[in-house]
């Protein structure tokens, strides 16, 4: 008797369906995060506006106090001229309406357009953050990979001990130590990074060295430890073991399997540290007197200059929210595709 052959069609490959499902999930994630980002921006704007409104004193009192003529009549007249005597909801909606059109108002303290004042400082902070990123990323990758490929050896122990020490040092302490070593004792670098009127930071690159080193010290340790751990895990993976047993040269094993396995998990963390370096440079800028956006925020807060405070806060929030969205998307993209039953 002839056997009846099983003519059932082969099971469909689950991977295309899984990829399609992940693409839809990624689109849903982006849409949700965009709506959440808009909600966060509105909430931050309300909270910052409310905080500037509840703070003791206002721009009229601060301005007239510096001039030595803060009588009640002059304060009330200036508050009316600046529109500070209007109800809170009216002032907020007026600011929000103008901000959505790109008009951030006029600085109470300096009298110029807020967009111009903030853009000048933002470019300085962008330069500082970009240089810090250009130093952080290759340094963290190099140290993490080098240490992970030598796990358990003396070099690995030295790197691990160094980053463990570094992660426990606050940013302002690291900056102070750098100033003492390289500015006060050795005299190699300037202790402050102040600029003259019209001067650009790139005209004196030495002014960027200590602020950049301070920023990198705050982010380096965590990234090195993460990349080292991922390198150790990737180096002991099944694919790497098979490649080595098959006689594949070690340098090809490292480049083909170990490096991607170590870098991919670090991408979202690096993206979040990029947001910090671009928008969270308050301590470094304040410590070294660098004329960036964080320093502008401190000066505006002291002068009760609400339009500048709002502009800086919203710009920093936008950068942080955007880069966190990028980090979440990268995390979703780099997750491995799994089929059913795996």
Q: What is the mean pLDDT of the chain?
A: 77
Give per-residue pLDDT as tens, 269-284.
777 777 667 655 777 7
pLDDT of res. 200: 76
Give the mean model confidence (pLDDT) for residues 103-132.
Answer: 82
Position 4 scores a pLDDT of 46
**Domains, the chain, with CATH or none:** 125-302 (1.10.3720.10)
134-145 CB burial, b ≥16 within 10 A, e <16: ebbbeebbebbb
pLDDT of residue 340: 39
3-state secondary structure of 83: coil
Buried b (16+ CB within 10 A) or exposed e, 156-188: beebbeebeebeeeebeebbeebbeebbeeeee
End-to-end CA distance of the chain: 39
CA distance 132 to 280: 12
What number is the average pLDDT over the span 306-310? 86
Output 131 or 152, whichever has higher pLDDT: 131
Distance from CA of residue 307 to its chain's centroid? 23
pLDDT digits (tens, 9 = 90+) for 170-228: 777 888 888 888 888 888 888 877 777 667 777 778 888 888 888 888 788 888 888 88
- Please report where in the chains the tokens 């094993």 appear, as a residue: 253
Residue 306: DSSP 8-state: H
Alpha-carbon distance of 130 to 137, in angstroms, equals: 11
- Least trusted range by pLDDT, from 49-53, 68-72, 136-140, 167-171: 68-72
pTM: 0.72
CA angle 113, 319, 273 (to 5 degrees): 135
């Amino acid at each position: 008797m002839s056997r009846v052959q099983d003519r059932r069609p082969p099971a469909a490959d689950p991977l295309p369906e899984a990829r399609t499902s992940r693409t839809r999930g990624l689109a849903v994630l982006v849409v949700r995060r965009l709506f959440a980002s808009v909600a966060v921006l509105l909430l931050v704007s309300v909270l910052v506006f409310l905080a500037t409104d509840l703070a003791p004193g206002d721009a009229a009192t601060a301005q007239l106090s510096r001039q030595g003529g803060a009588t009640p009549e002059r304060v009330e007249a200036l508050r009316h001229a600046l529109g500070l005597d209007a109800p809170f909801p009216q002032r907020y909606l007026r600011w929000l309406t103008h901000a959505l059109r790109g008009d951030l108002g006029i600085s109470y303290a300096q009298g110029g357009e807020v967009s111009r004042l903030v853009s000048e400082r933002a470019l300085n902070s962008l330069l500082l953050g970009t240089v810090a990123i250009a130093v952080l990323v290759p340094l963290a990758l190099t140290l993490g990979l080098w240490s992970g490929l030598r796990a358990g050896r003396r070099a690995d122990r030295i790197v691990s001990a160094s980053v463990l020490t570094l992660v426990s040092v606050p940013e302002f302490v690291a900056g102070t130590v750098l100033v003492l070593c390289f500015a006060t004792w050795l005299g190699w670098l300037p202790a402050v990074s102040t600029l003259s009127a019209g001067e650009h930071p790139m005209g004196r690159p030495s002014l960027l060295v200590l602020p950049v080193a301070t920023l990198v010290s705050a982010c380096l340790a965590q990234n090195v430890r993460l990349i080292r751990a991922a390198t150790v895990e990737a180096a002991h993976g099944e694919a790497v073991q098979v490649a080595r047993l098959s006689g594949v040269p070690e340098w090809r094993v490292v480049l083909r399997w170990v490096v991607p396995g170590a870098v991919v998990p670090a991408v979202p963390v690096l993206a979040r540290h990029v947001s910090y370096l671009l928008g969270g440079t308050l301590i470094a800028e304040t410590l070294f007197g660098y004329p960036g956006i964080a320093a502008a925020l401190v000066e505006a807060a002291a002068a009760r200059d609400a339009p500048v405070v709002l502009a800086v806060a919203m710009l920093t929030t936008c950068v942080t929210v955007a880069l966190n969205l990028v980090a979440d998307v990268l995390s979703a993209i780099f997750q491995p595709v799994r089929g059913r039953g795996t």
